[in-house]
Amino acid sequence: MKKLSSIMVALLMCSLTFAQQALWGGAPVVSPEIHDDNTVTFRLKAPKAVKVQLTGDFLPTQKITTPMGEFDGPGFADLKEGKEGVWEFTTSTPLQPELYSYSFIVDGLRMMDPSNVYAIRDVATVTNVFIIGGERADLYKVNKVPHGTVRRMWYNSPTLDMDRRLTVYTPAGYETSGKRYPVFYLLHGAGGDEEAWINLGRTSQILDNLIAQGKAQPMIVVMTNGNAWQEAAAGESPKGFVAPSMRPEERAKAPEGGFELSFPEIVKFVDKNFRTLANKKNRAIAGLSMGSFHSCNISKLYPDMFNYVGLFSGASAKNDKSTSPVYADFEGKLKVQFDKKPALYFIACGKTDFVMKGVTDFRKLLDEKGYKYEYLETDGGHIWKNWRIYLTEFAPKLF
């Protein structure tokens, strides 16, 4: 009987082995492989391919023209075919610490790296990701520190006449501390949604690490959906698995300034459902690109709501054609806001960002009026690398 049991176990192990080989297609291809010197090798098994390329934000940039303007896009590199149809490319120089994204292009067709299960969606583009650790990039990693909690929640917006979804980060210990916390409202850019900052921006990792290091105060971070026509991120609403897009025809359906006008509903919901310090002194708002535009307008529309304001790669400007109360009397609202002396007004932009002119013009106005602000200028353009940097610089200045 004992001998029979041993034979059965051996047969079972053989079956599992064959099953695993069938499932994974034999020996795996390692990609990306990060070497000790921080050079990286990418591999793809494609024996029938004619041409395989790599595109990623660590390669030399190229100019891309869009309806929103010209900006720096990811570059391209050719892979060389080796044994058994495995194509390979190794970076010529070590990569600096950062979170990087990439994908392959096989005979003109963009595809994911089948050897890398880690990916992030940005609007309708999905790319693989990897991290080169060290320096600031260590803030983007999950380290052995106390971790906060991330919730997806729904609230009702009478102004927009729908239930809407948002993402909320609460710091480590929130559930048991009994304390009240300041709140930081963090807004995404055009094409983004309530998933953008938590995924692409690495918000929870950054806050966990900054708080653990004593560089930032424990705070609640609320990441909203700034698309006034949208209930939630693509695939997360009753509309089902719709394709993510900018959808200009849907944007046109939203009331002008609707998101800004409805923002107090978000603040009310958060103050009701979380232990917050519900006053101006303990509230901050910041955003990237479109979220910067929203943050600028919301903070001056409600000058008694936020004491800290961050504008990442964008700002607002006069709009004499608008009939919305949000955009009327631009300079008048700005004066009221600065007369109330916000604790911090922070502006940041990349040197080659296509919004730089607008940011420069806005700064010129602030300088002419004598309004105090802090300014940070970085290399690069309208990219998540910069927005993660700005978050790591802005959060420690709060509260």
> At the topology level of CATH, where does 25-133 sit?
Immunoglobulin-like (2.60.40)
**DSSP letter string over 104-130?**
EEETTEEE--TT---EEEETTEEEEEE
Mean pLDDT score, 43-67: 87
Superfamily name with CATH number, domain 140-397: Alpha/Beta hydrolase fold, catalytic domain (3.40.50.1820)
Q: What pLDDT score was predicted for residue 15? A: 45
Q: What pLDDT score was predicted for residue 68? A: 53
Give the start-to-end residue ranges of the domains of the chain.
25-133, 140-397
Distance CA 140, CA 201 (A): 9
Q: What pLDDT score was predicted for residue 67? A: 56
Q: What pLDDT score was predicted for residue 21? A: 41
Which range, of 177-181, 199-203, 227-231, averages the lowest pLDDT?
Answer: 227-231
In the chain, % of residues over pLDDT 70? 89
Whether pLDDT at 9 is above 80: no
pLDDT digits (tens, 9 = 90+) for 219-270: 999 999 999 999 998 888 888 888 777 665 666 667 789 999 999 999 999 9
pLDDT digits (tens, 9 = 90+) for 338-357: 999 999 999 999 999 999 99
Distance CA 226, CA 229 (A): 9
Distance CA 140, CA 131 (A): 8
pLDDT digits (tens, 9 = 90+) for 93-143: 999 999 999 999 999 999 999 999 999 998 888 999 999 999 999 999 999
Query: Which structure tokens are listed for 289?
Result: 């690109």
Round to the nearest angstrom and report the end-to-end CA distance of the chain: 71
